[in-house]
Structure 1
C-alpha cells in the first residue's frame, strides 16, 4: 500500500461504526491498542518528514554520462566501460573510472545533469592567453566581444 492510499484509507475510517459516542468510548477504553485517526495521520506525516530528511542529494553528472547510463544497470555500465571500452568514448570511460561511486549512485538513486559550461569563454581564454598578447577583459567587455563574434561568425 502506498502512503497516499494509506492516508486515504485512514481518513475514510468511520469513527462511529460502533454506534453512539458513549458506547464507542466504553469499547475503546477496553482496547489498549486503540490509536485515534488523527494520531495515525500525524505519525504518517512525521514519517514522511523523516524520510525526506534522510534522503541523500542526487549526484550531479555530465550529460554524456547520463546518455551512457540511461537504461543500464550498474553491472552493465561498468561491464561496458571496462570490458568493452569501444562501447563508450574515452571521455565517458575516464569519467566513470574517476567517479565510480557517483556513477553507481546515479544509476540506483537518480541524478541531476551538470549544466554545460559556455564554450565561448573557453575559446576566448585560448585566443587571448599567450605571452605576447595578453588581454585583461572585464565581464562586460567579454560579453560585448562574444556578441560581436556571434554576430560575425558566418562572414
Structure 2
C-alpha cells in the first residue's frame, strides 16, 4: 500500500473513550503490551460476564480493532471528554 493510499484510508485517528485512553497510557508507562492488556480485559469479561465489567472494558471487547489501532497509531478522545493523544 502506498503512503498516499494509507493516508487516504487511515487519515483519521481512531476515536476512543477517555477511560480507554487512560488504560492505554497506564499500560504503556508500565511493562504491559497490547496482548497483556487485551487478555486482562478478556479475563475480567470471562469472570464477570459482559454485564459485570466496567464500561471501558466492555468498549475494548466490543471495539477490538479500534483499540488495536489506537494503541499502535494514536487516537482522539471522544467529543465532550478531555482531549489528548
- Mark yes or no: TM-score above 0.5: yes
Q: 2:21 aligns with which of 57, 66, 69?
A: 66
Q: 2:55 aligns with which of 79, 84, 91?
A: 91
Match of 2:3 in 1: 51
Distance 1:80 1:69 in 2: 12
Pairwise CA distance, 1:115: 1.7
| 8 Å CA contact retained: 2:18, 2:77 | yes
Pairwise CA distance, 1:52: 5.2
Unaligned runs of 5+ in 1: 1-49, 118-155
| 8 Å CA contact retained: 2:17, 2:56 | no
SS in 2 for 1:83: helix
TM-score norm. by structure 1 comes to 0.37
In the alignment of these two chains, the number of paired residues is 66
Pairwise CA distance, 1:53: 5.1
Pairwise CA distance, 1:74: 1.7
Name segments (4+ residues, structure 1) moved above 4 Å: none
